[in-house]
Structure 1
Amino acid sequence: MQALRSNRIVTTERLMMIPPGKENLPDLTRLKGDDRVFGIMLHGVRTAERTREELEDDTDFWEVRGYGTWCVFERTSGDFLGICGFMERPDGRGVALRYALWPECRGKGYAREAARAALAFGHAAGLKRIIAVARFTNHASRAVMQDIGMTPAGDFRHKGEAMLVFESLA
């Protein structure tokens, strides 16, 4: 599996982004089970079982689509920082960029670096339109989307929350 994933590995100045495998399940379980990280994500905090199911879904998504979600690591230390990549929005809005990094990573530019690299990969893989969604109140995520060149493309309400849609067109 690692050889198959090698052409899907993305590196930046400071990061290495690798499609997830079973070896990443402990890191993913901690990340997705942490309310500070996934408490504001679509569908919220995940159980260990749900994280395992999502890992299987992510692996299948890569196999079918040729793109997906990466595990993000700092190149120098090898530390697991979080995830970044693509998912098909369950509300039918399209393929969406998503990112979720440990709170300790905030303010260091890792989300921007990972999201920018993911966006470039997605467009190179043939995605003409990539969206991203953030709560109106999530100013940090909105700033990342704007800084990587995504533009406002609408809004909607989800469970009483105002949500903003951004897009990037190839």
Structure 2
Amino acid sequence: MDGPPRAASPHTVRTPRLTLRPVGPGHLADLVALKGDEAAFGLMLHGVRTPERAGEELRDDIAFWQVRGYGTWAVHRGTDDRFLGIVGLMERPDGRGVALRFALWPECRGQGYAREAARAALAFGHRAGLARIIAVARESNLASRAVLGDLGLRPCGTFQHQGYPMLVFESLRPPAAPAQQASSGPAS
């Protein structure tokens, strides 16, 4: 693999099959390719990106990590470190809140990678203190809707975007476990 360094960031997340690394300068070529591919990125907000726009977004994503402590990860397969796509937690430009997003190469679909990466990102976000994380999918995007449903996100709204009906889902941080009650004496 060319590109991203293998040094672990404190925000690197490992799952049974994946390594999620915060995006950095070494990911630029992978991100330009992914974000420029209609099949991989066409359904994302604002669609495919030019190489220049992908570079601008990478700089924004790096800065976002520094300010927020969460952001976009590059998803790599654990066995061979192959770049599979992205998963992230980003502030939506429409003010709806922090949103889970994911985009993987089409040939990676159907193998559970999106679910595994998205589950890890959600858990990271809730541990980082995000009480509510949303996700948005086109009504017609059944694959993304299935992933969101499998992760336990619940429908919570709809809106129109460029003539398409959009569904909003939410994940609420689980309540903290009650503290164990101290025993008042030895058990009899």
Q: Residues 149-168 of structure 1: matches in 2 within 5 Å?
A: 149-168=152-171
The correspondence for 1:144, drawn from 136, 144, 147, is 147
1:64 equivalenced with 2:67 (yes/no):
yes
Q: List alignment gaps of at least 5 residues for structure 1.
A: none
Cα-Cα RMSD = 1.3
Among 26, 31, 39, the alignment partner of 1:28 is 31
Deviation at 1:4, TM superposition (A): 9.3
Q: Deviation string for 1:35-72 (max 9, x for gaps)?
A: 00111110110000000000000000000000000000
- Whole-Å separation in 1 of the counterparts to 2:157 and 2:123: 22
Give the counterpart of 1:84 among 43, 67, 87: 87
CA–CA separation in structure 1 for the residues paired with 2:96 and 2:162: 17
**Contact kept? 1:67, 1:86, Cα under 8 Å:** yes
Structure 2 counterparts to residues 44-59 of structure 1, below 5 A: 44-59=47-62
Give ranges in structure 2 of 5+ residues lacking alignment: 174-188
The equivalent residue for 1:119 is 122
Looking at secondary structure, tell me which structure has more helix per residue: 1
Larger radius of gyration: 2
| Cα drift, residue 87 of structure 1 | 1.0
How many equivalent pairs are there? Answer: 169
Secondary structure at the residue paired with 2:76? strand
Identity among equivalent pairs (%): 66
TM-score, length-scaled by structure 2:
0.88
Q: Which residue of 1 aligns with 2:110?
A: 107
Is the contact made by 1:81 and 1:102 (CA closer than 8 Å) also made in structure 2?
Answer: yes
